[in-house]
């Protein structure tokens, strides 16, 4: 079974972001970039399926700038067999990304598509569900458990208040939640080996997809700063402040 | 302008976030209809009809919509959307699950988790774990939007709208099937709607030690939350996670216990009215957002706090 895994290049999750002085966007100049953490979990799940003999080939796909090759090499160092970069310097919206991924899926015909549930830059949480709608593949969003057998994927999903289990007919698109697995680190020999794995580069035009934005970003601002309050010296003082100053307990 | 709000419900109860979403929809100006889709959900439709300012409630009662399976609900909403300029849903696990599908089927963008309505086509939403606020304007004919419930005060239950069955033919995509659910049993208030939340972090140390958190929470009638570190360590179930990828809460009082205050956690609670931090590390970043900070060992402070409440 072929597995396709989509990865996104984003700002490293440890970096504290800054808003540009002209409020046009977040400043990404000279900032450390990395694979989106949820995408790492998706790659790990694909690799585990291959180790179990369920997946036969793992194709990693990224849509982004030329430098997103780094994230595809990371995916290949972790165990993906080859990579496809759909190269664009535009920051594409989820719908455009979903359309491009759907075209890649049409060409590659995977039985399972694994993605992260959201990217930590735009926090949209949309692309997996859109890919599922556009391809007609079954949808398993926010997945924390996955079993694949007999042409079906049994997914455990994180929902408000607990967990839900669904049976999906393959082919299916699945988005990884935090607790699906704990991703491994790539070993040095595997990082070296990944440099020789095949990586194809395409463009949105190759797929004939209209990627024009639907939304205008009018401005980006820093959130209102919360002022640090005071330190209290004891539990008594804390209870007194909550009762008599903040008046949030009685 | 006419707005369709998709109600969220679970276990025969209307999810409270639906009332916040109706409030957000009313800021657009125009008639607000509510869709209740599900199986055996007539009582929920009656409850939704009481939401103040609702024009009418559409009821789609069919096995295909049981458990709000994303594939089927999205097909239904897509058919209904032709009559509306906006489609809103709460950014709950159900809303996040089916709304992007609705957008894709309509060939429009989705705007996720809005926190403010500036005009009928312009909205604010947090990005980068709430470390920046983007103002975006939609150029699409239909605006498909999920709403962060804590950013809008809910409408009252003082209305009396009519309930009508939908005329759209039932659709079943037939690709997914509900197997079961494991829901946490709790008498405490629901985390995202609670007036007071007491959360524990890695510093709590173990699942047993979380009793310190539960005891203070019960004294205050509070919900219990947790940081990602506490959830990853297995101290509490994952639906208690507060943060960028967990629940977003904005209670009147948030008490963070043994939580250092990573930006991903702050993203989920920094809009709380009053924040209390209890941590033995006085350098912990949580103190930078806390109104009241107590530098103390939680194992001394929490039993004392419980005794004095």
- Which ranges in chain B are annotated with CATH 3.40.50.1220? 191-308
Tell me if A94 sits within 8 A of A124, measured CB to CB: yes
Is the confidence at residue B297, as pLDDT, over 80?
yes
- What pLDDT band is residue B246 in, cutting at 50, 70 and 90? confident
Can you name the CATH fold of B191-308?
Rossmann fold (3.40.50)
Å between B255 CA and nearest CA of chain A: 11
Overall average pLDDT of the A196-210 stretch:
97
Which residue is it, tokens 């956690």? B265
Whether the per-residue pLDDT at B185 is higher than 80: the answer is no
Of the candidates A133, A220, A232, the beta carbon closest to that of B293 is on A232
List, for residues A158-175, the tens digit of each pLDDT value: 998 889 999 999 999 999
Residue A219's pLDDT band, with cuts at 50, 70 and 90, is: very high
Contacts of B247 in chain A (CB under 8 A): 160
Q: What share of chain B has pLDDT > 70, as a percent?
A: 100
Contact B114, B123 (CB under 8 A): yes
- Confidence at A70, pLDDT banded by 50, 70, 90: very high
Return binding residues of B for FAD: 202, 227-228, 241-245, 258-265, 279
Considering the domain B2-165, what is its CATH architecture? 3-Layer(aba) Sandwich (3.40)
Nearest to A130 among B104, B133, B181 (CB): B104
Q: Do B294 and A231 touch (CB under 8 A)?
A: yes
Residue A228 confidence (pLDDT): 84
Q: According to the 3-state scheme, what is the secondary structure of B177-192? A: EEEEEEECCCCCCCHH
Interchain contact B181–A (C-beta under 8 A)? yes
Q: Which two tokens stand for residue B177?
A: 């099937």
pLDDT given for residue B14 in this prediction: 96
Long-range contacts of A88-94 (CB under 8 A, 24+ apart): A88/A63, A88/A64, A88/A203, A88/A204, A88/A211, A89/A65, A90/A211, A90/A213, A92/A63, A92/A204, A92/A211, A92/A213, A93/A213, A93/A214, A93/A215, A93/B109, A94/A122, A94/A124, A94/A126, A94/A127, A94/A130, A94/B100, A94/B109, A94/B110
Residue B115 has what pLDDT? 97
Say yes or no for a CB contact (<8 Å) between B109 and A238: no
Which 3 state secondary structure label does DSSP give B129? Answer: helix
Element (H, E) at A168: strand A162-169
Helix (H), strand (E) at residue B176: strand B176-183
Q: How many CB pairs under 8 A join A and B?
A: 252
The distance of B283 to chain A (nearest Cα, Å) reads 12
**pLDDT digits over B17-26, tens only?**
999 999 999 9
**B291 to chain A: which residues are within 8 Å by CB?**
229-230, 246
Model confidence at B190, pLDDT cuts 50, 70, 90, reads confident
What CATH number has the domain spanning A2-245?
Answer: 3.40.50.620
Write the pLDDT tens digit of every residue in A110-158: 999 999 999 999 999 999 999 999 999 999 999 999 999 999 999 999 9
Tell me: pLDDT of B170 over 80: no
- Which residue from A127, A57, A173, A227 is spatially nearest to B100, judged by alpha carbons? A127
Query: CA A237, CA A231: separation in Å to the nearest integer?
Result: 10
B132 CA: distance to closest CA in chain A (Å): 5
Touching A: B residues 49-88, CB under 8 Å? 67, 69-71, 74
* Test the B interface: residue of A12, A34, A141, A248 with most B CBs within 10 Å: A248
Q: Kindly tell me if the per-residue pLDDT of A96 is higher than 90.
A: yes
pLDDT at A50: 98
């Amino acid at each position: 079974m072929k597995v396709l895994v989509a990865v996104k290049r984003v700002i490293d999750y440890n970096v504290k972001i800054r808003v540009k002085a002209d409020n046009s966007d977040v400043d990404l100049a000279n900032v450390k970039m990395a694979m989106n953490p949820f995408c790492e979990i998706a790659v790990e799940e694909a690799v585990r399926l291959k180790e179990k003999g369920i997946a036969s080939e793992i194709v990693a796909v990224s849509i982004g700038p030329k430098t997103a090759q780094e994230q595809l090499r990371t995916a290949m160092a972790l165990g993906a067999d080859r990579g496809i970069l759909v190269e664009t310097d535009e920051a594409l919206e989820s719908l455009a990304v979903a359309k491009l991924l759907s075209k890649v899926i049409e060409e590659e015909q995977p039985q399972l598509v694994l993605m992260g549930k959201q990217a930590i830059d735009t926090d949209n949480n949309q692309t997996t569900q859109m890919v599922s709608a556009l391809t007609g593949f079954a949808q398993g969003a926010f997945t924390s458990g996955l079993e694949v057998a007999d042409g079906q994927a049994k997914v455990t999903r994180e929902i408000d208040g607990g967990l839900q289990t669904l049976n999906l007919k393959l082919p299916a698109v699945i988005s990884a939640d935090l607790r699906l697995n704990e991703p491994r680190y790539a070993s040095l020999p595997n990082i070296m080996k990944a440099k020789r794995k095949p990586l194809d580069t395409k463009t949105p035009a190759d797929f004939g997809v209209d990627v024009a934005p639907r939304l205008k970003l009018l401005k980006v601002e820093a959130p209102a700063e919360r002022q640090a309050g005071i330190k209290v010296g004891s539990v008594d003082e804390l209870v007194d402040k909550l009762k008599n100053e903040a008046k949030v307990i009685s | 302008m006419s707005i369709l709000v998709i109600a969220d419900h679970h276990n025969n109860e209307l999810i409270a976030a639906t009332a916040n979403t109706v409030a957000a929809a009313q800021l657009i100006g125009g008639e607000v209809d509510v869709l209740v889709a599900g199986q055996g959900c007539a009582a929920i439709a009656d409850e939704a009809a009481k939401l103040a300012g609702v024009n009418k409630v559409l009821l789609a009662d069919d096995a295909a919509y049981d458990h709000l399976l994303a594939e089927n609900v999205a097909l239904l909403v897509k058919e209904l959307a032709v009559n509306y300029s906006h489609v809103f849903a709460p950014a709950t696990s159900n809303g996040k699950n089916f709304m992007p599908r609705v957008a894709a089927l309509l060939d429009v963008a989705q705007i996720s988790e809005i926190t403010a309505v500036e005009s009928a086509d312009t909205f604010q939403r947090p990005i980068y774990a709430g470390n920046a606020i983007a103002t975006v304007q939609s150029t699409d004919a239909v605006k498909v939007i999920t709403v962060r419930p804590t950013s809008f005060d809910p409408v009252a239950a003082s209305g009396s709208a009519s309930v009508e069955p939908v005329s759209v033919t039932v659709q079943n995509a037939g690709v997914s099937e509900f197997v079961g659910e494991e829901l946490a049993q709790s008498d405490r208030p629901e985390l995202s709607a609670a007036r007071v939340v007491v959360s524990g972090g890695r510093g709590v140390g173990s699942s047993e030690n979380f009793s310190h958190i539960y005891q203070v929470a019960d004294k205050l009638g509070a919900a219990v939350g947790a940081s990602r570190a506490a959830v990853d360590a297995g101290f509490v179930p994952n639906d208690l996670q507060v943060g960028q990828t967990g629940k977003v809460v904005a209670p009147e009082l948030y008490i963070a216990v043994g939580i250092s205050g990573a930006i991903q956690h702050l993203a989920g609670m920094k809009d709380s009215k009053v924040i209390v931090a209890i941590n033995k590390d006085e350098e912990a970043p949580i103190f930078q957002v806390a109104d009241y900070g107590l530098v103390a060992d939680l194992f001394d402070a929490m039993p004392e706090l419980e005794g004095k409440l």
